[in-house]
Amino acid sequence: MKNILVTGGAGYIGSHTVVQLIEKGYTPIIMDDFRNSHQTVIRELEAITHQQIPVISVDICDQQAVTSSLEGIRIEGVIHFAAYKAVGESVLNPLQYYRNNVESLITILDWSVRNQVANFIFSSSCTVYGEAEGIKEVTEETKPGIVRSPYGQTKVIGEQILTDLKKSGAALNILALRYFNPIGAHPSGLIGEFPIGKPNNLLPFITQTAVGIQSELTVFGNDYPTPDGTCIRDYIHVMDIADAHVQGLHFLESTPLRGVEFINIGTGKGTSVLELIQTFEKVSGQSVNWKFGEKRQGDVAEIYANPAKSKQLLNWSTKYTTEDAVRDAWRWELNIRK
């Protein structure tokens, strides 16, 4: 069984990917210092998978700690999730984001090259496309617009670092997955998105409003050029994203790459903010207290993925619906509020 190092493996997408890796016969090793996640997730992962999961608790920016903690362990692949990810917070604390997100990537890449790791998957984001005005459906060749947040810039810089490393002749096989909007939870309800503090993402805010943790949800803007006036995004079940990483590993294991491969991970269709609220109310039977607010600077009206490349190269496509994702997120929310 191949050892796969999963940095940030206790986080939202990382933890779900660990489940999928085990299901497909890999041995994931989690590297996470739990600064942005909860240690209880390890217990839940072991309950889901019925096996003990190796965990290395170190700061991934600390090169010496990373090196010593992995001494003597053969790693066949790395999936690098570890990063801060809140757009608003990155605007307030840009240096924190640049230091953590860029330095952690450099550290783990350096270790991977020195230790002759075969395959590397980078957790990127559709934020690299920036404000691509007038473009709704995004392909990997879409010309980026302005990327306004430091978080988004760390992903742009990360992709450039990967590109330059590959150009230097590094033997590392590299895939960068650009996720759209992850939602949902594991169908068991044992793991899911667990925001520290006020949620930055829409669905956790909806579920927390429904259980009374948040008093009211604000929908930012109601006059966008969309059917109901609210922003449209490509919401994708976290289990589908997790599966994309496993398919990505399969692809890298059989395909030597001359350059970095960039691939969109999305459903290929958009859902508006109001549609997501309505889907939640339908699935849960709960009403959500919400109001319209002012538009946020930098929000584009509509963006969703063209997933053709992911189907072609990874043999991957989504299995879950938006309703599935909402249902699983609600099950998770109720479970953690018991």
Residue pair 195/205 in contact by the 8 Å Cβ criterion: no
Displacement of CA 112 from its chain's centroid (Å): 21
What is the DSSP pairing of strand 290-293 with strand 119-125?
unpaired
How far is Cα 188 from Cα 277, in angstroms, rounded to an integer? 22
CB 275 within 8 A of CB 228: yes
Pairing of strands 232-233, 271-272: antiparallel
Q: Are 314 and 252 in contact (CB under 8 A)?
A: no
> Number of helices and strands (H, E) in the chain?
12, 15
Is 151 one of the catalytic residues? Answer: yes
DSSP tag of 127: G
26, 129, 151, 235: the catalytic one is: 151
Dihedral sign for Cα atoms in the order 17, 23, 26, 30: positive
Catalytic residues: 151
